[in-house]
């Protein structure tokens, strides 16, 4: 190992290759600050952090440093929705308008919950984007989505919904349960499991936030995807105030340990957060192939991203979600593995991230040599 970055935390010796890859990312791939957590068969076998949380102040990454995870938030929101499916109060085959009557406008009466969760609803953007200050207040965005006409005939194609997924799924939660996504996540998942995981971060916790850094790594060979027409003006994720609101597709905040623990709880055979039947349904491929938004191949289950060329995970038995720029959280049912990786140096565009690729290779070596 050539890297000399000081690492903090713990690592089971069986996963030394993963520890080494995490350290080498600082020397080889421009890592600034990051955390990595791995659960294997219910045990936390890797829990590491290193580097700088805020380049402006030089503040080091700490055990309790929180970091924005961008679209890895979608996997958290999908878990909230699947809890309602598990309880029998939400039917993925039912029209969304069953629970949200106003949604039926503009040719959307037949859109099912499953289509919405698998990016088939044709609502990746608004024809008239809202000012960010309106979107942050929730109701203006919900009202706009209710009257928005789909961009394609729902159910005939799929296209990644980069921002709107969170408001659409979040409003389903609110209509059925009465609570906001933030409250549902806190009361049903984060508090019972003691997870440092938030959508809508209280001001009192902002001192723990890592500051995100956006720029391209020189060794990133995958070309950028075509730009996506978004529903709001650009969101400033370097502003801690961005994390006060509820944008359940993009502004989740967590420690790596919390996110990995969430996915470990989903596949825990003794006391799973979701029943095995619900997990099987949620991770069954709903769509695959050409994504009309990203112009690249993707695969989705009921809210979870599945292993694909565009959003690679560990294997075909993995489900979870990555975040633009680097963050990643997933479970792998075959290996009983749960992983979360959260960096604050975010690389531009979509495609393969050399840091994640290195971690995947190290995980495969550890599992192949010692753990199966």
Dmax over CA atoms of the chain, in Å, equals 59
CA dihedral defined by 162, 163, 168, 174, rounded to 10 degrees? 130
Tens of pLDDT along 22-64?
A: 999 999 999 999 999 999 999 999 999 999 999 999 999 999 9
Mean per-residue pLDDT of the chain: 93
Task: Please give the DSSP secondary-structure letter assigned to residue 369.
Answer: I
Contact indicator for 46, 19 with CB cutoff of 8 Å: yes
Task: Please give the DSSP secondary-structure letter assigned to residue 112.
Answer: B
pLDDT at 370: 55
Question: Regarding beta strands 213-214 and 345-346, do their DSSP bridges make them parallel or antiparallel, or are they unpaired?
Answer: parallel
How is 204-230 classified by DSSP, letter by letter? GGGGGBPPPEE---TT--SPPPPPP--
pLDDT at 104: 98
- Going by pLDDT thresholds of 50, 70 and 90, the confidence category of residue 193 is very high
Q: Cα–Cα distance between 124 and 118 in angstroms, integer?
A: 12
Tens of pLDDT along 136-165?
A: 999 999 999 999 999 999 999 999 999 999
Does the structure show a pLDDT above 50 at 221?
no
Catalytic residue from among 71, 118, 308, 327: 71
Distance between alpha carbon 177 and the CA centroid of its chain, in Å?
22
Instruction: Collapse the DSSP code of 89 into the 3-class scheme (helix H, G, I; strand E, B; otherwise coil) and give the result.
Output: coil
Q: Cα–Cα distance between 272 and 74 in angstroms, integer?
A: 20
Structure token pair of residue 275: 């029943």
pLDDT at 349: 65
Only one residue has tokens 């045990």, namely 43
Contact indicator for 136, 96 with CB cutoff of 8 Å: no
Contact indicator for 306, 286 with CB cutoff of 8 Å: no
Tens of pLDDT along 76-112?
A: 999 999 999 999 999 999 999 999 999 999 999 999 9
> The whole model's pTM is what?
0.95
pLDDT at 360: 96
Structure token pair of residue 355: 């840091």
Does the structure show a pLDDT above 80 at 209?
yes
203 Cβ neighbours under 8 A, 6+ residues apart: 244
Contact indicator for 229, 125 with CB cutoff of 8 Å: yes
pLDDT at 278: 97
**Nearest CA to 11 among 336, 368, 363, 372?**
363
pLDDT at 270: 87
71 is catalytic: yes
pLDDT at 225: 46
Rounded percentage of the chain residues whose pLDDT exceeds 70: 94
Does the structure show a pLDDT above 50 at 14?
yes
Contact indicator for 161, 77 with CB cutoff of 8 Å: no
Helix (H) or strand (E) holding 106: none
Question: Regarding beta strands 67-68 and 59-60, do their DSSP bridges make them parallel or antiparallel, or are they unpaired?
Answer: unpaired
281 Cβ neighbours under 8 A, 6+ residues apart: 85, 92, 302
> How many CB atoms lie under 10 A from the CB of residue 59?
16
- Going by pLDDT thresholds of 50, 70 and 90, the confidence category of residue 226 is very low
pLDDT at 369: 62
Rounded percentage of the chain residues whose pLDDT exceeds 90: 85
Distance between alpha carbon 176 and the CA centroid of its chain, in Å?
23
> How many CB atoms lie under 10 A from the CB of residue 227?
7
pLDDT at 234: 85
- Find the mean pLDDT for residues 260-275: 94
Query: What CATH class does 65-341 carry?
Result: alpha beta
Helix (H) or strand (E) holding 193: helix 191-193
Contact indicator for 5, 26 with CB cutoff of 8 Å: yes
pLDDT at 231: 85
Task: Please give the DSSP secondary-structure letter assigned to residue 44.
Answer: E
**Nearest CA to 169 among 244, 88, 250?**
250
């Amino acid at each position: 190992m050539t890297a000399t970055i000081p690492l903090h935390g713990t690592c089971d010796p069986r996963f030394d290759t993963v520890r080494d890859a995490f350290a080498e990312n600082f020397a080889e791939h421009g890592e600034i600050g990051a955390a990595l957590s791995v659960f294997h068969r219910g045990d936390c076998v890797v829990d590491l952090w290193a580097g700088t949380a805020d380049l402006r102040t030089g503040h080091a990454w700490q055990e309790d440093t929180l970091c924005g995870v961008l679209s890895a938030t979608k996997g958290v929101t999908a878990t909230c929705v699947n809890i309602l499916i598990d309880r029998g109060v939400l039917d993925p085959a039912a029209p969304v308008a069953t629970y949200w009557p106003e949604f039926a406008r503009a040719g959307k009466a037949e859109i099912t919950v499953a289509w919405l969760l698998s990016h088939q609803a044709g609502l990746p953007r608004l024809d008239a984007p809202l000012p960010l200050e309106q979107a942050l207040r929730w109701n203006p965005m919900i009202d706009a989505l209710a009257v928005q006409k789909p961009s394609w005939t729902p159910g005939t194609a799929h296209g990644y919904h980069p921002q709107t997924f969170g408001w659409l799924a979040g409003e389903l939660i609110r209509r059925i349960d009465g609570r906001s996504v933030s409250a549902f996540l806190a009361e049903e998942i984060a508090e019972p499991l003691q997870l440092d995981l938030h959508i809508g971060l209280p001001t009192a916790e902002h001192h723990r936030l890592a500051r995100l850094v956006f720029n391209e790594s020189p060794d990133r060979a995958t070309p950028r995807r075509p730009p996506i027409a978004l529903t709001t003006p650009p969101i400033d994720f370097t502003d801690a105030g961005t994390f006060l609101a509820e944008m359940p597709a993009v502004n989740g905040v967590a420690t790596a340990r919390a996110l990995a623990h969430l996915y470990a709880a989903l596949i825990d055979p003794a006391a799973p957060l979701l029943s095995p039947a619900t997990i099987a349904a949620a991770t069954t491929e709903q769509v695959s192939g050409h994504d009309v938004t990203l112009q690249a191949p993707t695969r989705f289950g009921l809210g979870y991203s599945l292993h694909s060329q565009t959003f690679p995970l560990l294997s075909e038995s993995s489900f979870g979600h990555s975040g633009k720029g680097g963050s990643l959280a997933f479970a792998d049912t075959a290996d009983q593995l749960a992983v979360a990786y959260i960096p604050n140096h975010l690389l531009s565009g979509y495609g393969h991230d050399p840091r994640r690729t290195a971690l995947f290779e190290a995980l495969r070596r550890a599992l192949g040599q010692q753990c199966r």
